[in-house]
Amino acid sequence: MNELGIVLKQIAAERKNVWYSVLFGYIGGVTAAGLFAASGYLISKAALLPPVYTLTLLIAFIKVFGLVKAGSKYGERMVSHRATFNILAGIRVRFFEKLEPLAPGIFQKFRSGDLLARITGDVESLQNFFLRVYYPPIVLVFVFLSSMIFTAFYSFWFPLIFAAGLLLTGLLIPAVFALRRQKIEEKVRESRAVLSTDTAEVLYGFRDLKIYQQLNDKEKSLHHSSAAYIANQEKSSSQSMFNQSVNQAAGLLISWGVLAAGVYLVQQGELDGLFLAMLVMLSLSVFENASPMAALPPHLEDSRKASERLNEVTEIKPVTAIEPYETLSDEAPVIRFNDISYTHEGEERPAVNEVSFSIEAGSKTAIVGASGSGKSTIFQLLLGVLRTSEGDIQLQNKQISHIRSEDIWEKSNVVMQENHFFFGTVRDNLQIAREGLTDEEMLWMLEKVSLSRFSLDDPVLEKGENLSGGERQRLAIARVLLRKRSLWLLDEPLSSIDNVTSAEIMRYLEERTEDATVCLISHQLKGLEKMDRIIVMDGGRIAEQGTFTDLMDARGMFYEMKRIEQEILV
Ligand SMILES: Nc1ncnc2c1ncn2[C@@H]1O[C@H](COP(=O)(O)OP(=O)(O)OP(=O)(O)O)[C@@H](O)[C@H]1O
């Protein structure tokens, strides 16, 4: 049950609505039983031709019961659903809060489709926990107890039969069915996760699947997983209906038992026959409420599994800064890497191996090297996205292990190789840079990155699908340029932009970053003469570092790279 902690906490926060649900549920249940019982009594009484006012009074009672029942059922549905939606909203928010510090490392453990299935499907399954598992049994027990007390006035046999019936329909039959349903529910959950993962793969990889003519196969697999999910759902629903019907039949049998006991007692002269119909009707009504109990164990199991799947994600400990926290000032930072090593999860070879360098405040550094040599990993370590205990990184002479990632992001301007764009307009995508940006400021920046042909209202599709690679890069640069920061981390920001435009943007960037500390990852070696320092990476290690002239004079790796680049260009 521990795994249900996530939903129990939210239920506790909805205490008031929970109490109202129980109260309205109880009033609804008791008045429904009262309505049936009074009807039974009325039929028997009417057969004895009583005075009209007796019948009028009884009919009035029945009407009141009917009205109160309808009102309280409405009230119960309203508050219980309000509570459920609040509970689900609370769970989603908590899930996101826990997920946020885990990104982006979380995608090494879970596929995005699977995460999506958890946050939609699994969270949604939890609605049944409150609506079908948590409070209905409380209501049911109270209604049963009230009925037992009431029937005890006629004979002690009736409460005994009621208790046996409650045990049978509320516990034994549901427990037997629970075992049968475990397997099918497991299958429903598994097929839902597969469908979600397949859907995400097709959506994200649509273009490449089409180019490689794999779309048909992928679509077939998607149809297959969809059909499997539907088939499992159908099986699950029909099994659930069958279980409820069996439980209902058991309830009817108990009512037959009440009838048989009543007839016997009437024969023995221990019960007035006038009450027989009332007791049977009461029993029918009470046991009708018990039939959904057959669905309780599967809902409980489903909720338990859904919580377990959510906990699998939220229980991962994020690698965060350690206390006491240090805060960064707005000044351009000094950066120091002392003997830093980092191995990505699941990898054997370190991506960064015993790396040491020092970058002075306000200086400009280029990091170059072959693909996969560890350049981006250095940036991720610098941003606190990845954290390592091997070595010591300092920012503004403060240990990065004590600086919260949010603080570092707040103080930096970052352009990564892949930048995210949101569905909306150019304006929407620029506005996230800073609050209070005016249209003039944004238009001015678009001009600076040679995107003046764009208007702020131009649409941007999901992930910037309607933009070229170069346009995406320019929009990303415009976005960071709208922020005033003193640490700039640029990971191949201009790789897809033509030389002329690239040179223009670079000039403007130089102007804007005059006093800032700048680190630039670049595959292009052109223009690096202006850099204060160049770090050359090779297989996770620093092969050499120094000024452009130092490296050219040393005739080492950088010199070779430069020579090859020139040969290609000639
Ligand atoms: N998330 C990850 N999980 C596992 N291994 C990773 C991950 N990211 C990078 N790596 C590995 O770490 C090594 C260094 O990668 P990194 O991205 O730092 O290289 P890079 O020099 O920036 O390459 P590029 O120039 O192609 O961007 C590579 O071998 C890569 O396969």
Residue 207 domain-assigned (yes or no): yes
Q: How far apart are CA 530 and CA 79, in angstroms?
A: 68
Domain that holds residue 500: 335-569
487 within ligand 1 shell (Cβ under 6 A): no
Asked whether residue 112 falls in the same domain as residue 220, the answer is: yes
Question: Are 305 and 369 in a shared domain?
Answer: no
435 in a structural domain = yes
Q: What's the CA-to-centroid distance between 351 and ligand 1, angstroms?
A: 6
How many Å lie between the centroid of ligand 1 and the Cα of residue 491? 13
Q: Quick one: 384 and 259 in the same domain?
A: no
Q: Whose CA is nearest to atom 16 of ligand 1?
A: 374
**Candidate from 66-75, 125-134, 345-354, 355-364 with smallest mean pLDDT:** 125-134
pLDDT in tens, 210-252: 887 888 888 899 999 999 999 999 998 898 888 888 888 998 9
Report the alpha-carbon distance of residue 325 to residue 384 in Å, rounded. 13
141-156 residue pLDDT tens? 999 999 999 999 999 9
CA of 387 to the centre of ligand 1 (A): 15
Atom of ligand 1 nearest to the CA of 349: 29
8-state DSSP, 372: T
Do 157 and 299 fall into the same domain? yes
Q: Whose CA is nearest to atom 29 of ligand 1?
A: 372
Closest atom, ligand 1, to C-alpha of 376:
22
299 and 406 share a domain? no
CA gap 287, 276 in Å, rounded:
17
CATH number of the domain bearing residue 198: 1.20.1560.10
Closest CA to 483 of 330, 327, 379: 330
Could you give the CA distance from residue 562 to residue 556 in angstroms, rounded to a whole number?
Answer: 10
If asked whether residues 361 and 440 sit together in one domain, one would say yes
Q: For residue 528, is pLDDT > 80?
A: yes
Q: Whose CA is nearest to atom 3 of ligand 1?
A: 344
Shared domain check, 388 and 300: no
**Cα-flanking dihedrals φ and ψ of residue 137, to 5°?**
-65, -35
With a 6 A CB cut-off, is 107 part of the ligand 1 pocket?
no
- How many domains does the chain fold into? 2
Q: Specify if 321 maps to a domain.
A: no
Same domain, 303 and 388: no
SS3 per-residue string spanning 91-153 = HHHHHHHHHHHHCCCHHHHCCHHHHHHHHHHHHHHCHHHHHHHHCHHHHHHHHHHHHHHHHHC
Say yes or no: CB of residue 353 within 6 Å of ligand 1. no
Examine the domain organization and report whether 364 and 239 are in the same domain.
Answer: no
Give a yes or no: residue 327 inside a domain.
no
Atom of ligand 1 nearest to the CA of 379: 18
Q: Are 247 and 173 in contact (CB under 8 A)?
A: yes
Q: Are residues 100 and 219 in the same domain?
A: yes
Task: State yes or no: pLDDT of 105 exceeds 70.
Answer: no
The H-or-E segment that residue 301 falls in is: helix 296-314
pLDDT classification of 431: cutoffs 50, 70, 90: very high
Regarding whether 292 and 232 lie in a shared domain, the answer is: yes
Residue 328 resides in a domain: no
CATH number of the domain bearing residue 468: 3.40.50.300
pTM for this predicted structure: 0.67
Only one residue has tokens 């299958």, namely: 187
Residue 378 Cα: closest atom of ligand 1? 18
**Rounded to an integer, what distance in angstroms lies between the CA atom of residue 469 and that of residue 421?**
12
In a shared domain, residues 277 and 355: no
Index of the ligand 1 atom closest to the CA of residue 380: 18
pLDDT digits (tens, 9 = 90+) for 198-207: 888 888 888 7
Separation of 143 CA from ligand 1 center, angstroms? 64
Residue written as token pair 């057969």? 47
CB distance 100 to 320 below 8 Å: no
